[in-house]
């Protein structure tokens, strides 16, 4: 078990929103969906896109660079790159699909604690 580090307060996020936080040297995307809190790496494993600048729909975040999608519940790939054709095929061949890291999050009082 890692250590629990405060990453923010419950009221820092409205339902359906996300933001970037820095915790112990990690860039983490912190999100709130249906009054539950989630934390994953904020950098897309494809080419390092800033996921917090992407779009959140339910529990799926879309990378603003190439449209890869990840489930914020577990970090798993929903879609690896957007589009089709030669450029997409080359991009997929250069970097195969990789999940992003999901972090355990605990709510303690009004604090959001992330295990790193």
Name 41's bridge partners: 28
CB 22 within 8 A of CB 32: no
Structure tokens at 97: 């699909």
* pLDDT-derived band at 90, boundaries 50, 70, 90: low
CA–CA gap between residue 51 and residue 40 (Å, rounded)? 9
* pLDDT-derived band at 83, boundaries 50, 70, 90: low
107 within domain boundaries = yes
For tokens 């970097």, name the residue.
Answer: 95
116 within domain boundaries = no
76 within domain boundaries = yes
pTM (2 d.p.): 0.88
63 within domain boundaries = yes
Q: Kindly list the distances between the CA atom of residue 55 and the CA atoms of 9, 59, 61, 90, in Å, as whole numbers in the listed order.
A: 22, 10, 6, 24
pLDDT in tens, 16-29: 999 999 999 999 99
């Amino acid at each position: 078990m890692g250590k629990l580090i405060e990453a923010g307060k419950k009221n820092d996020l409205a339902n359906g929103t996300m933001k970037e936080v820095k915790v112990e040297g990690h860039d983490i995307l912190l999100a709130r969906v249906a009054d539950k809190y989630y934390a994953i790496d904020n950098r897309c494993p494809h080419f390092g896109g800033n996921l917090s600048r992407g779009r959140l729909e339910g529990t799926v975040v879309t990378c603003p660079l190439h449209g890869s999608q990840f489930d914020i519940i577990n970090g798993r790939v929903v879609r690896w790159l957007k589009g089709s054709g030669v450029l997409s095929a080359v991009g997929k061949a250069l970097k195969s699909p990789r999940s992003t890291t999901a972090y355990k999050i605990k709510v303690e009082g009004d604090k959001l604690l992330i295990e790193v």
